[in-house]
Structure 1
Amino acid sequence: MRSLTLCTGLGLFAVQAVVGATSWTNTPFNPPSIPLAVRTPYLSTWLPQGQGVALNSEWATHWGGQTTAWTGFVKVDDESYSYLGAASVAGSSFTQATQKSMTFTSTQSIFVLSAGPVDVTVTFLSPVDATDFVRQSIPMSYMHVSVASTDGATHSVQVYSDISGEWASGSDSWDIEWSTTATDILSHQYTLVSPAVYEEISDRAQYGNWYYSMLNGAGATAQIGRDITVRGGFLNNSVLSTTAKDNNFRAISDSWPVFGLAKDLGKVGSTAASVTFAVGHIRDPAIKYVLAGNAKQARSLYFWSKYSTANQVISFFLNDYNTALATANALDKQVQTDATKISDDYAGIVALSIRQAMAANEITISKNAFGAWNTSDVMYFMKEISSDGNVNTVDVVFPAHPIFLYLNPKLGEYLLEPLYRYQASGLYPNKWSVHDMGAHYPKADGHNDGTDEAMPVEESGNMLIMALSFARATNDTTQIKRYESLLDQWTQYLIEDSLIPAFQLSTDDFAGQLANQTNLAIKGIIGIRCMAEISKLLGNTAKYTNYSSIAADYVTKWQVYSASKTGAHLTLDYNDDASWGLAYNLYSDVRLGLKLFPQSVYDEQTAWYKTVINQYGVPLDTRHTYTKSDWSVWTSAIVTDTGLRDQFISTLTAYVSNGLNNVPFSDLFDTISGKTAGFQARPVVGGHLALLLV
């Protein structure tokens, strides 16, 4: 993570602390930004909200804010309506459909709009299927458009949609080229004329192919060309031209080429008729990974083990929609059931977090010496979105890891594997855990010079806690046995530096370095105890006894060092009596059932937080008024009063629905103003599932 200065976000609306009100209903609330196609670090398109933005009144954007134009029209009895995007088409007329509702779940964002005598339901589905690695690794997302009559009569209906070349790069000046496939699918493909493998501009991949596709058949047409030409052709003729060819490959911003698809649904009555579109970004290789000896390995997305061409995977994806929807509905129901046991507010927070957290990750495999896919060599890679783009940042994986414990703990092991394997190679020179696998995604080059961002206690403690967590959850000790010496090495470091941590950074590095951090010491001590538990799992009783004894002794001493002499609370740093902060690292003690810290600590902190909570939550610590959403949820899980737990959650809901922000769920925000403080779309929101695990 990187340091930053506090800045304000832009304006938005929601249901709780209201700045404005929409003319449509929002369920469960109106978030800062609504996920549309949110599937990978590069396929990540949102509808910024503010006080409320209709689906057909603004352009969708990449999580970083750049426009990813996505357009939709529907013709009803030759009358044209827009349902998606903010297009204006010279020489053609249309009316904006009227948005009636917006609903989001863990996997879907659903809009209902009225277009004259019909309702148009637009469902954006970004599948989350954490146990099916083929499906989970396909970098594609659905838009399903369903139309039904509302007046009892039948109506002639045609549906159109396009995406623009803006999806292809972080700069509109780059040239693109394109083609169309017409088999069992109608699929537009476009790519940069001069791609750069593994490179990015503004967090957008500078290589790979973009696809916009639908199933082929009666009434399906496709066209590529200038935006006003293609859109105007549909609006004026109800169909796209199959003969007009635009082969003038050019810059994204030169006459704005778009990739249009249309479907004539025929006569539509009260029984809905529909069409499904798929948008995707397929690149190969996906990740560059450093091997022993400093060799570099090209790794590919897991789905290639089953499909040999892009058209094959697109065909599967489109034909799989009904299965994908059923799977998504089942997950949505499970999450809703589990989360509402805490509260309705909590269910909304979790639902908004899942796609965002999962879309930061990609499942990869390698090839063996004979060129065959090696599906036993699975590695999962995470981009530290927004804050600096590192690969598998340990202190970003750590706050996110509850989502993997909930959905599939094996994914957690596969996230740790690149870190373990790299450090076991001997390329990394430091005795503590590495901070990340590479300075910028998708290049997992390591840090052979040892000059990665130093968080020695933080990352060593994180790795030990996660090692035990995933081994227990999978009931598999293979990984911890393979890397036992590394885990032991990090434990030895924690014994040296965790009780009285030296001047250093913690995961909250934006707040700066600090010595004697109370909360950081908690993590280090828990890390030592986790190594004791790991030793027990591996049958080493002597190590278990030794490390358990050290951790217990450190807790006794820590209680003296960390206690404020002027108030009943833990300090932020030793001997700074007026200071305090969120002791979120206690969460691992609770979740793992270690009972390492005495009950009195939890009771004292519970009483204290009641006295310092602001409108939008408890500040992270006394240095600033901002807080972190992930750590707030973790803290809510360790307080001993359910009323306070619920207050942590309700204030978080108030923030995320207050209408003052318009970026994908920011985990850093001010507890007084309710405005975001610089982060957005980060995978750490996976930590919002923490309450589902205790």
Structure 2
Amino acid sequence: MPCIDRLPAIPLLASDPYLSIWMPADTMTQTDACHWSGPAKPIRGVLTVDGVACRFLGAGPEPEAGLTELKVTATRTCFTSEFAGVRLETCFASPALPQDLDLLSMPVTLVTLSAVSLDGAEHDVRVKLHLSDRLCYDGDIRPAMSGASFVLNGKNTAWCGQTTQKPLSHSADHSTIDWGYLYLSADGETTLVGDGLQTCCSLSAGGPAAQLIIAYDDIASINYFGDLCKPWYRRDGRQITDAIRCVQEHFDTILNDCTRLDARLAEDARSAAGEDYERLVNAAWRHTFAAHKLIATPAGEMAFLSKENDSNGCIGTVDVSYPSIPIFLKYCPELVNALCRPVLEFASMPVWTEDFAPHDVGRYPLATGQVYAARRHVGQGECYPPYYLYPAGTDVWDVRYQMPVEECGNMLIMLEAGRAFGADPALAKQYRSLLDTWVQYLVKYGEDPDEQLCTDDFAGHLAHNVNLAAKAIIGVACYARLTGEESYAKQAKTMAEHLLEKIGDKGNTPLTLDGQGWSMKYNLLWDKVLGLGLMPESFYAAETASYLPRINTYGLPLDSRADYTKSDWICWTARMADDAAVRTALIAPIAKELRETTSRVPFSDWYDTKTGRYVAFIARSVQGGIFALML
């Protein structure tokens, strides 16, 4: 029987929001690979055994090789194909290694190909891998293209890209890159062909694997408040060819590091919540990192910018960063500071005169000022004005569509959580005056929030939101920890006591402070993780146990308003449970959804708990929240 790791979409190239290519099928030959947003970006592989060809990757006219094994780990997608007495083993690895941020920021994928004779006979084995130049442009109309072949560090290398380059020339949600250059490097013959790049190699059965490198030079990654910034690894003048050379020279070491990280993550996951949780962790790792771009700011500091995929395309969204941080707290806490830095910089500019935190810093890839709640709507593909240049008093945003309590709480919690797990506290100290303003907003408006949006804005405005009140309380407590201001610790404790008086400690707590409905209380996670001592342990035991009767086939609904859920919030809620059986009951349906959903999109975080179908939100950074159970 084939051993297949079933996911709704299989990661192939996973480096950033543009280089995010997936196979939306159970096998590797049912269709072509595509960008997370849907457009086909073909990567095709043909295996020829003794002169007879078959297809092991992508669509095409050749007969399909039999897929006998597919394994998706945190950093690697490996699959085995059989044809004419030969087994071909193929592996795509993304070096998303948090211990090496230079390497993590390189848009590279390592590919290995090896052959084994199944019948003991000698075979003539040849493999061809073809990358479509559709990887270099957006839309269906092929522009004028150019490219060439050359030798780099003794390896055959080819590149292709549009003849006319316009870096960072569009901004949208469902869009692919429309500039830059695709590279392919290998030992075998590697050339520019009519519609892309191609490498051909001969394999010896039982011999060493062929090693290929796929890379992408985006020229410029982010417009960062007027400066065109490059990936982190290029901060000292390095180029894409230096990245390729680095991988060439350390190929085996990088793969070994990927294997070791995979093993560590698998062990951490099983220890936290078992095999179903391991499946979630493996599905979420590359997924999360590929929803971000790590750049060097003009000051030489790290900025880690998410794209709000399939929800509006915003860059650096605070309430998208907030749910993602468990993965970074566990494995690289300084990235939490890198998430916060762009928001703090923007909030310090004259145009931002609000007494609460921003929602975002632009629309990807243009970090040129908040676009959420902007009075002027700009269509997909167009560029928003450079709001960061505007003076105070310009009245750019409509306060009705802001998320004041949400974002103030998020920023204070992220900064304190990062500090608690080892991030440099200097960033929070640098922006102390902003934090003072934001905590005062929470004290004034957070205990019983009026009708405003929260991160679950798809559900609409909600007054007296218990989850939002909980976030305000946690935010105040985190500010106290950050600054040493004991009066705010007492304030947070008083606010928590008031909340407990209103909602009770017997479980089944309401959605709103006036007693309506019910909801997951995911924002209270930080009381447990950071040891804030705001709510009694009996509250968490009763509350998490009360969720069990509400679980549907594919998970616990977000709240009483609908059957849909958020996978990240379920994992946060599971972390609040000390009872392993409760954790398992909450986690298992998400793993079931991954195995059974008919929605062929990368791990949606917003899906229906009865049908398992995705509602919206594809390939989003919030799946970093899956790692909450490891904190």
Same fold (TM over 0.5): yes
Relative distance call for 1:440 and 1:366 in structure 2 (3 A) is closer
**Corresponding residue of 1:42:** 18
Verify the 8 A CA contact 1:99 1:113 in the aligned structure 2. yes
Verify the 8 A CA contact 1:176 1:190 in the aligned structure 2. no
Residue-by-residue CA offset, 1:256-286 (whole Å, 9 max, x unaligned): x232211133xx23x2332222222212221
In the superposition, the TM-score normalised over structure 1's length comes to 0.84
**Corresponding residue of 1:188:** 158
**Corresponding residue of 1:148:** 116
> For 1:425-464, what aligned pairs fall within 5 Å after superposition?
425-446=349-370, 448=387, 449=395, 451=397, 453-464=401-412
Question: For 2:557, what is the secondary structure of its paired residue?
Answer: coil
**How far did 1:550 drift?**
1.0
**Corresponding residue of 2:436:** 488
Task: State the AA in 2 paired with 1:344.
Answer: E
Relative distance call for 1:568 and 1:177 in structure 2 (3 A) is closer
What CA distance in whole angstroms lies between the structure 2 residues aligned with 1:426 and 1:32?
45
Verify the 8 A CA contact 1:165 1:176 in the aligned structure 2. no
**Corresponding residue of 1:272:** 207
Question: For 1:204, what is the secondary structure of its paired residue?
Answer: coil
Relative distance call for 1:73 and 1:297 in structure 2 (3 A) is same
**Corresponding residue of 1:521:** 469
**Corresponding residue of 2:531:** 593
> For 1:297-336, what aligned pairs fall within 5 Å after superposition?
297-305=227-235, 308-336=238-266
| 1:215 aligned residue (167, 186, 192) | 186
Question: For 1:56, what is the secondary structure of its paired residue?
Answer: coil
**How far did 1:302 drift?**
1.7
**How far did 1:97 drift?**
1.3
Task: State the AA in 2 paired with 1:662.
Answer: R
Verify the 8 A CA contact 2:159 2:192 in the aligned structure 1. no
**Corresponding residue of 1:378:** 302
1:397 equivalenced with 2:321 (yes/no): yes
**Corresponding residue of 2:6:** 30
What CA distance in whole angstroms lies between the structure 2 residues aligned with 1:221 and 1:643?
54
Verify the 8 A CA contact 2:74 2:286 in the aligned structure 1. yes
Task: State the AA in 2 paired with 1:522.
Answer: A
**How far did 1:67 drift?**
0.5
Task: State the AA in 2 paired with 1:571.
Answer: P
Relative distance call for 1:221 and 1:203 in structure 2 (3 A) is closer
What CA distance in whole angstroms lies between the structure 1 residues aligned with 2:612 and 2:523?
24
Verify the 8 A CA contact 1:160 1:262 in the aligned structure 2. yes
> For 1:189-588, what aligned pairs fall within 5 Å after superposition?
189-198=159-168, 199-200=170-171, 202-211=174-183, 213-216=184-187, 219-225=188-194, 257-265=195-203, 268-269=204-205, 271-290=206-225, 296-305=226-235, 308-341=238-271, 342-366=273-297, 376-446=300-370, 448=387, 449=395, 451=397, 453-474=401-422, 476-536=424-484, 543-544=485-486, 546-563=487-504, 568-577=507-516, 579-588=517-526
Give RMSD over aligned pairs: 1.9
Residue-by-residue CA offset, 1:381-422 (whole Å, 9 max, x unaligned): 111112111111000000000111112011111111111122
Task: State the AA in 2 paired with 1:25.
Answer: C
Question: For 1:470, what is the secondary structure of its paired residue?
Answer: helix
In the superposition, the TM-score normalised over structure 2's length comes to 0.92
**How far did 1:435 drift?**
0.3
**How far did 1:137 drift?**
1.0
**Corresponding residue of 1:165:** 133
Verify the 8 A CA contact 2:8 2:601 in the aligned structure 1. yes
What CA distance in whole angstroms lies between the structure 1 residues aligned with 2:279 and 2:396?
41
**How far did 1:306 drift?**
5.1
What CA distance in whole angstroms lies between the structure 2 residues aligned with 1:587 and 1:417?
23
**How far did 1:200 drift?**
4.5
| 1:638 aligned residue (576, 588, 594) | 576
Question: For 2:209, what is the secondary structure of its paired residue?
Answer: strand
**How far did 1:563 drift?**
4.3
Verify the 8 A CA contact 2:405 2:446 in the aligned structure 1. yes
Question: For 1:273, what is the secondary structure of its paired residue?
Answer: coil
Verify the 8 A CA contact 1:629 1:668 in the aligned structure 2. yes
Larger RCO, structure (CA 8 Å, separation 6 or more): 1
**Corresponding residue of 2:561:** 623
Relative distance call for 1:220 and 1:613 in structure 2 (3 A) is same
What CA distance in whole angstroms lies between the structure 1 residues aligned with 2:79 and 2:144?
32
**Corresponding residue of 2:392:** none
What runs of 5+ residues in structure 2 fail to find an aligned partner?
372-386, 388-394
Verify the 8 A CA contact 2:107 2:215 in the aligned structure 1. yes
What CA distance in whole angstroms lies between the structure 2 residues aligned with 1:435 and 1:683?
16
What CA distance in whole angstroms lies between the structure 2 residues aligned with 1:555 and 1:445?
34
What CA distance in whole angstroms lies between the structure 1 residues aligned with 2:142 and 2:228?
25
Larger radius of gyration: 1
Task: State the AA in 2 paired with 1:222.
Answer: T
Verify the 8 A CA contact 1:392 1:415 in the aligned structure 2. yes
Verify the 8 A CA contact 2:149 2:191 in the aligned structure 1. no
Verify the 8 A CA contact 2:544 2:573 in the aligned structure 1. no
Task: State the AA in 1 paired with 2:159.
Answer: Q
Question: For 2:338, what is the secondary structure of its paired residue?
Answer: helix
Residue-by-residue CA offset, 1:634-666 (whole Å, 9 max, x unaligned): 001112422111111111111111142211000
What CA distance in whole angstroms lies between the structure 2 residues aligned with 1:176 and 1:473?
50
Question: For 1:175, what is the secondary structure of its paired residue?
Answer: coil
Relative distance call for 1:262 and 1:570 in structure 2 (3 A) is same
Relative distance call for 1:309 and 1:636 in structure 2 (3 A) is closer
**Corresponding residue of 1:64:** 37
What CA distance in whole angstroms lies between the structure 1 residues aligned with 2:491 and 2:358?
24
What CA distance in whole angstroms lies between the structure 2 residues aligned with 1:471 and 1:75?
55
What CA distance in whole angstroms lies between the structure 1 residues aligned with 2:146 and 2:531?
56
Verify the 8 A CA contact 2:158 2:185 in the aligned structure 1. no
Verify the 8 A CA contact 2:570 2:586 in the aligned structure 1. yes
**Corresponding residue of 1:86:** 59
Relative distance call for 1:259 and 1:482 in structure 2 (3 A) is same
Verify the 8 A CA contact 2:216 2:240 in the aligned structure 1. no
**Corresponding residue of 2:547:** 609
Verify the 8 A CA contact 2:17 2:307 in the aligned structure 1. yes
**Corresponding residue of 2:383:** none
Relative distance call for 1:200 and 1:185 in structure 2 (3 A) is farther
Question: For 2:448, what is the secondary structure of its paired residue?
Answer: coil
Question: For 2:144, what is the secondary structure of its paired residue?
Answer: strand
Percent identical among aligned pairs is 30
Question: For 1:657, what is the secondary structure of its paired residue?
Answer: helix
What runs of 5+ residues in structure 1 fail to find an aligned partner?
1-22, 89-93, 226-256, 291-295, 368-373, 537-542
Relative distance call for 1:97 and 1:307 in structure 2 (3 A) is farther
Question: Mean Cα displacement is larger for which, 642-651 or 604-613?
Answer: 604-613
**How far did 1:547 drift?**
0.4
**How far did 1:366 drift?**
4.2
**How far did 1:498 drift?**
0.6
**How far did 1:360 drift?**
1.2
**How far did 1:58 drift?**
1.3
Task: State the AA in 1 paired with 2:137.
Answer: S
**Corresponding residue of 1:10:** none
Verify the 8 A CA contact 1:432 1:457 in the aligned structure 2. yes
Relative distance call for 1:633 and 1:661 in structure 2 (3 A) is same
Task: State the AA in 2 paired with 1:280.
Answer: A
